[in-house]
């Protein structure tokens, strides 16, 4: 074999090895969220669309499972809820990209494509997303041994309206809206809320999320129930919050009021507010900035190894 051919063969093998390693690191499995009938569902044709990684009209929820290599696994897991005002789902930037970053840190990640509230597909559209979040937590906890996950280190993460869903799962876990014959705990062990919608109240609530989830004329009881700053108790999970002070879509007051409610009952919580970032952190802060702080918080609270 000539030196040039040998070099070419070696280079090809290295590229194949790197590609294989990358595939294994980000290997993913897409599974239906419910093995049988979807609860609270009206049987209609599937009209879901995905354009530029933005999902619309989601009526068939799924869970995309990303597992880190066994040698790098920390045993922690995070269910990721993309945002989109309960009208769309930003699946790539607030879902799959985040899952891959979690995998790099040795954390199993599950991207939840939850149902978007719509009277055409659900008997009670206000409960559909919460049912899907509870089913996701139930699934991960029941598959923990198979997926090499520590059952005490299963968290939920959400962006914008996905943050509202994550916070709802963390403050309403004691109300079960799905079939749960094994009485599996639906309480996430921790929450990571990124520029989250927390409240649906008039002063600071996000009107688009409220309208999509509860309709245009919700009752006061519904508004209060889904305003999660009012639902914090001493058993609410530890929480990491990050938000921008110049957010004109979801006011930073959402995170501040939730932090104050957590702090009032001594729930461990970090809150990182950036002066600039607007909604979505499209330009600043860099992903590595806020995500690094998130990983640090997870280490401090022993959801990740300190080293």
Overall pTM > 0.75: yes
In this structure, is residue 16 part of a structural domain? no
100-112 pLDDT per residue, tens: 999 999 999 999 9
Q: 243 by DSSP, 3-state: which? A: strand
* Edge-first strand listing for the sheet containing 54-56: 49-51, 54-56, 88-90
pLDDT band for position 307 (cuts 50, 70, 90) = confident
In this structure, is residue 18 part of a structural domain? no
Structurally, the chain folds into a number of domains equal to 1
Q: What is the largest CA-CA distance in the chain?
A: 79
- The predicted pLDDT at position 19 comes to 37
In this structure, is residue 7 part of a structural domain? no
- The predicted pLDDT at position 26 comes to 60
115-165 pLDDT per residue, tens: 999 999 999 999 999 999 999 999 999 999 999 999 999 999 999 999 999
CB 239 within 8 A of CB 170: yes
In this structure, is residue 81 part of a structural domain? yes
128: domain range? 28-300
In this structure, is residue 305 part of a structural domain? no
**What percent of the chain has pLDDT above 70?**
91
d(CA 79, CA 307): 23
- Looking up residue 48, the CATH number of its domain turns out to be 3.40.50.1820
pLDDT band for position 28 (cuts 50, 70, 90) = confident
In this structure, is residue 109 part of a structural domain? yes
Report whether pLDDT(113) > 60.
Answer: yes
65-107 pLDDT per residue, tens: 999 999 999 999 999 999 999 999 999 999 999 999 999 999 9
260-294 pLDDT per residue, tens: 999 999 999 999 999 999 999 999 999 999 999 99
d(CA 209, CA 186): 24
Averaged over 245-273, what is the pLDDT?
98
């Amino acid at each position: 074999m000539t030196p040039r051919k040998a070099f070419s063969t070696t280079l090809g093998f290295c590229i194949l090895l790197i590609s294989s390693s990358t595939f294994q690191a980000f290997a993913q499995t897409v599974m239906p969220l419910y093995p049988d009938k979807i609860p609270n569902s009206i049987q209609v044709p599937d009209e879901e669309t995905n354009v530029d990684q933005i999902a619309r009209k989601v009526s068939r929820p799924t869970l995309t499972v990303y597992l880190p290599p066994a040698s790098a696994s920390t045993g922690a897991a995070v269910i990721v809820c993309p945002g989109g005002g309960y009208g769309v789902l930003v699946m790539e930037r607030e879902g799959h990209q985040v899952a891959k970053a979690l995998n790099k840190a040795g954390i199993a990640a599950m991207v939840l494509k939850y149902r978007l509230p719509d009277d055409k597909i659900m008997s009670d559209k206000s409960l559909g997303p919460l049912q899907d979040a509870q089913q996701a937590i139930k699934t991960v906890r029941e598959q923990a041994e198979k997926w090499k996950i520590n059952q005490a280190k299963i968290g939920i993460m959400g962006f914008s309206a996905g943050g509202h869903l994550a916070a709802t799962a963390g403050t309403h876990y004691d109300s079960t809206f799905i079939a749960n014959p094994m009485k599996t705990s639906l309480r996430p062990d921790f929450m990571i809320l990124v520029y989250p919608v927390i409240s649906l109240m008039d002063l600071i609530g996000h009107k688009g999320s409220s309208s999509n989830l509860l309709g245009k004329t919700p009752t006061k009881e519904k508004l209060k129930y889904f305003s999660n700053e009012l639902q914090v108790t001493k058993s609410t999970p530890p929480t990491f919050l990050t938000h921008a002070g110049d957010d004109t879509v979801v006011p930073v007051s959402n995170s501040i009021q939730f932090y104050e409610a957590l702090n009032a009952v001594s729930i461990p919580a970090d809150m990182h507010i950036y002066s600039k970032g607007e909604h979505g952190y499209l330009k600043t802060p860099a992903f590595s900035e806020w995500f690094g702080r998130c990983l640090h918080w997870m280490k401090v609270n022993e959801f990740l190894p300190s080293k």
